[in-house]
Amino acid sequence: MTSKHVDGGFITFEGIDGSGKSTQARLLADHLRSQGYDVVLTREPGGSVGAEEIRALVLEGDPDRWSAETEILLFTAARRDHLERTILPALAAGKIVICDRFADSTRMYQGLSRGDLRGIVDQLHELMIGREPDLTVLIDMDPAEGLSRAKSRQTAEERFEDFGQALQDQMRAGFLALSREYADRFCVISGTGTLEEVAARVTSTVQDHLS
Ligand code: TYD
């Protein structure tokens, strides 16, 4: 069976830590594959060999390892490699690319959490990335609930999860503001309810976008 060719198939998932977006991204990929689409499921930071190496540099180890500015450069370097080697080739081949986090995460985490650096994030994005998703699914979640889910996972990658409730609150508000700023591509989906309930909301939004 030949798979369906798609234009405008660059879909990203965003949300605070513990929002369930990674699970939802995977469920969406499974669903679309079952519909005959060729899907590349990927994530940031990471998604290419080089970018996965940068992922370890930014998410593990001493949280004060990098200055805020260096961190922006590292996330952007990872994204550039990911874009060149994974995302753009897949889109050019007519595949759907589902990416767990993308530039909106940098706008939020690096742009807001350690001072107002949004201007630098945007300038660097324009210079080095210059590409926005066709559709961004924001899984909106109560920060307290998200934090307790994220904490229960206990991974070595606790770089941002350790900032706690205040940052989670700020990130949620920031993502909602971003969804208004980029209203043409954002879709806000409630992350409350069972996995299946959230997945059904995501699927119907994405089907609308694709058709
Ligand atoms: P992720 O693996 O999506 O973690 P989670 O599933 O807990 O959301 O992302 C790892 C962390 O990286 C997350 O805390 C957010 C952070 N991050 C940034 O700070 N900037 C970025 O540009 C990206 C892509 C992620």
Q: How confident is the model at residue 146 (pLDDT cuts 50, 70, 90)?
A: confident
Instruction: Pick the atom of ligand 1 nearest to 160's CA.
Output: 14
Note whether residue 4 is domain-resident.
no
For residue 69, being part of any structural domain is answered with yes
On whether residue 203 sits in a domain, the answer given is yes
- pLDDT tens-digit profile of 155-193? 666 555 566 788 889 999 999 999 999 999 999 999 999
Instruction: Give whole-number Cα distances, 117 to 44, 63, 67, 142, 207, in Å.
Output: 20, 18, 12, 25, 35
Rounded distance from Cα 57 to ligand 1 centre (Å): 13
Segment 122-148 mean pLDDT: 94
Q: Is residue 177 a part of any domain in this protein?
A: yes
Omega into 63 within 30° of 0, i.e. cis?
Answer: no
- Give the Å distance between the CA of 109 and the centre of ligand 1: 8
Residue 46 alpha carbon, nearest atom of ligand 1: 24
What pLDDT score was predicted for residue 158? 57
- Indicate whether 5 belongs to any domain: no
Pairwise pLDDT comparison (65 vs 146), residue with the higher score: 65
Residue 2 lies in a domain: no
Identify the pLDDT of residue 157. 62
pTM (two decimals): 0.94
What phi, psi does 203 have (nearest 5°)? Answer: -60, -45
Average pLDDT, the chain: 93
Q: What is the pLDDT of residue 152?
A: 73
Query: What is the number of the ligand 1 atom nearest to the C-alpha of 159?
Result: 14
The answer to whether residue 64 sits within a structural domain is yes
Task: Using most ligand atoms within 8 A of CB, pick from 16, 17, 73, 114 the residue to mutate for ligand 1.
Answer: 17
Count of domains for the chain: 1
Domain range enclosing 76:
10-210
Query: How confident is the model at residue 114, as a pLDDT?
Result: 87
Supply the residue whose CA is at minimum distance from atom 19 of ligand 1: 109
CA distance 49 to 43: 12
For the domain that residue 135 is a member of, what is the CATH number? 3.40.50.300
Give distance in angstroms: CA of 105 to centre of ligand 1.
7
Q: Can you tell me which atom of ligand 1 is nearest the CA of 113?
A: 19
With CA atoms as reference, report the closest residue to 173 among 205, 142, 130.
142
Question: What is the predicted pLDDT for the residue at 57?
Answer: 96
Pocket test for ligand 1, best of 55, 105, 107 (most atoms within 8 A of CB): 105
Question: Is 1 a member of any domain?
Answer: no
pLDDT at 51 over 70: yes
**Which pLDDT belongs to residue 113?**
87
